[in-house]
């Protein structure tokens, strides 16, 4: 009987957590950040990651104190030359001879499923860097509100807490 109750409890907790995750959506007023690799070759994907790290670090430091979407828009618009310079310098340093484009405004995003959440395709306010032909896998996150950092922190914490809670239930009721 205890095992049946425990199984029902675990299923209920899992369903609750999954329904909660489905409600975690990006706010309507958001600014996304996307980098599209030239191709899916190892070299092109590595370059995408290097560019992402450089630009994301700069943007996050610039937007650190931003409280509103308008403030964030202005910061991004006022730093487009700096972002271009970062990308250009890093590509030269890597001897990467592909052209690139940087666009800020309304840009198309395909649908994406990430950690059980489906993000709808659509045209969203965003900063998009396309390397070369832009035929490779992409990276994206949300700059405002600053979900690029929150995602990394929350993922680690919630996964650990969830595993401990389930382990505790199993230890308590099945031993």
Higher pLDDT, 108 or 26: 108
pLDDT category of residue 23 using cuts at 50, 70 and 90 = very low
Q: What percent of the chain has pLDDT over 70?
A: 69
pTM over 0.85: no
Higher pLDDT, 100 or 111: 100
Look at strands 31-36 and 122-131 and give their pairing.
parallel
Helix (H) or strand (E) holding 123: strand 122-131
103-135 per-residue burial string, b: 16 or more CB within 10 A, e: under 16: ebeebebeeeeeeeeebeeeebbbbbbbbbebe
Per-residue pLDDT, 18: 54
pLDDT category of residue 93 using cuts at 50, 70 and 90 = very high
Nearest to 104 by CA among 129, 87, 126, 78: 126
**Whether the predicted pLDDT of 84 surpasses 50:** yes
Distance, in Å, from the CA atom of 69 to the CA atom of 75, rounded to the nearest integer, reads 10
**Whether the predicted pLDDT of 170 surpasses 70:** no
């Amino acid at each position: 009987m205890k095992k049946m109750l425990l199984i029902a409890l675990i299923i209920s907790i899992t369903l609750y957590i999954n329904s909660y995750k489905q409600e975690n959506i990006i706010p309507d007023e958001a600014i996304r950040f996307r980098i599209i690799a030239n191709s899916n070759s190892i070299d092109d994907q590595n370059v995408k990651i290097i560019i992402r790290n450089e630009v994301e670090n700069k943007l996050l430091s610039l937007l650190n104190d931003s409280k509103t979407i308008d403030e964030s828009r202005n910061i991004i618009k006022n730093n487009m030359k700096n972002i271009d310079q970062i990308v250009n310098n890093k590509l030269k340093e890597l001897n990467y001879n592909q052209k690139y484009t940087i666009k800020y405004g309304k840009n198309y995003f395909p649908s994406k499923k990430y950690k059980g959440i489906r993000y709808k395709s659509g045209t969203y306010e965003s900063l998009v860097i396309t390397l070369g032909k832009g035929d490779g896998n992409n990276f994206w996150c949300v700059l405002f509100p600053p979900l690029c950092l929150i995602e990394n922190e929350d993922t680690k914490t919630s996964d650990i807490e969830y595993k401990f809670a389930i382990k505790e239930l199993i230890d308590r009721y099945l031993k």
